[in-house]
Amino acid sequence: MIKKSLLSIITLAFYFSSFSQAEEILPPDFIKTITFKGSTNQAQLPILRLGEPFTLEFDALTGNEEDFYYKIEHFDFDWKPSLLVKGEYLKGIDNVRIINYLNSENTFQIYSHYDIRIPNQQTRGLLKSGNYMITVYDDYDEVMFSRKFMVVEDIVTVGVQPKRTRNFETINEKQIVNFKINSGSLNLNNPLETIKTLVIQNNNLKTAITNLKPQFATGRELIYRYDKEASFWAGNEYLNFESKNERAANLGVQFIDLKELYHNYLFKQISRKNRPYTWNPDINGNFLINAIDVDNVDVEADYVVTHFTLISEEFPGKDVHVFGNFNNFEVEDMNRMFYNRERGQYECDIKLKQGFYNYKFVTVDLDGTIDEGAISGNFWQTENNYKVLVYYRDLGARFDRLIGYGEANSERITN
């Protein structure tokens, strides 16, 4: 009886672990500059319209022309595998080799540039809306990395309005997102159960607010006017630099040096937490690959070792990281800073492809909690981008459809 009970527990544990929430897998050090291209801007959170072509690109800094393969999986709203079989959401086949690649030209850093174009001869398109994960792996079936993306049907319209929080304790530091969903011709059955929402700040899925329920319904509109439940720390404008000309100091670069590669030393930064807010236009943590005097930035843009410096007292019990979409807003060894006690500053160098980059400094607690405001501060005036995604699963349906999304920025935020 005891053996039978233990077997049942192990079976249940395996079952639940097999269907846990899917997480993106970080690439190894030699995989760089992973970007999506579709209707969204390069490298931003990819939200693609059903039937729209898209491209996933990346560089392998080995110079060996390695073979890579890809597969595509469909997920429910909560990033658990959907009940659909592959033939229901994918036209054609996946698990095929990436055949489109080019080697770098006239660069100090040798690399191969790969791109997966959907549709192609093997993978002819996606048939359903919803959440997807694309996974890239090598000849030995070892996963190199995976990235989430979304496919949307334009069925409902979503009005999004960022506002200052109504909570007096955080009114100078937080923003909230009010929104409403107009169902148009779609009859939304039991929206409290069938509608799910996702609110995203600056294309970062890791800080998204999930599954707010409608508070009011008027005709064909569902209205969401939450305060605390729909609030985000406002943060501060991102810092930026440009490296499009590797032979000269660009925006944000104090000086350069040529070693095995070009090195860019950025201007040293200080904490902005206790300083007045200053408007500084940014692209909300994103990056754009760019280089001068080249015909094809995909293979002619070089890699530059970029040196970041933060003048600060040490943060005991915390790590400090350079933060941005250049590595999908991850905190990992690659972007962790080291404290130089002799100079009283945090230092880090990262190999990045030429372009325009946004970044900020964040602290990370021992439990992995990220504080974006510990160094940069939180200011209600900060311009942030907000997206609201709307999912729908009708009664008896087998998967969550993504039926619409809306977005707005807080540049003209109101009370």
- As a whole number, the mean pLDDT across the chain is 93
pLDDT tens digits, 214-261: 999 988 999 999 999 999 999 999 999 999 998 888 999 999 999 999
Kindly state the average pLDDT of the residues 393-397.
Answer: 92
Q: Which residues contact 229 (CB under 8 A, 6 or more apart)?
A: 209, 212
Element at 134 (helix H, strand E): strand 130-138
Cα separation, 360 vs 376, whole angstroms? 7
The one-character DSSP state at 302 is: P
Contact status, residue 381 vs residue 413, Cβ threshold 8 Å: yes
Residue 11 has pLDDT above 80, yes or no: no
The one-character DSSP state at 88 is: H
Kindly state the average pLDDT of the residues 33-61.
Answer: 87
Kindly state the average pLDDT of the residues 180-205.
Answer: 93
Query: Could you tell me the pTM of the whole model?
Result: 0.92
Kindly state the average pLDDT of the residues 289-318.
Answer: 97
Residue 4 has pLDDT above 90, yes or no: no
pLDDT tens digits, 88-132: 999 999 999 999 999 999 999 999 999 999 999 999 999 999 999
Locate the domains of the chain by residue range: 31-152, 157-235+381-409, 239-376
SS3 state of residue 372: coil
Cα separation, 329 vs 187, whole angstroms? 37
Among residues of the chain, what percentage have pLDDT more than 90? 87
Cα separation, 11 vs 386, whole angstroms? 41
Q: Is there a common fold for 31-152 and 157-235+381-409?
A: yes
- Report the candidate in 281, 277, 238, 240 with the shortest Cα–Cα distance to residue 372: 238
Residue range 157-235+381-409, CATH number: 2.60.40
Kindly state the average pLDDT of the residues 271-288.
Answer: 95
**Structure confidence at residue 108 (pLDDT):** 98
Q: Which CATH superfamily is domain 31-152 in?
A: Immunoglobulins (2.60.40.10)
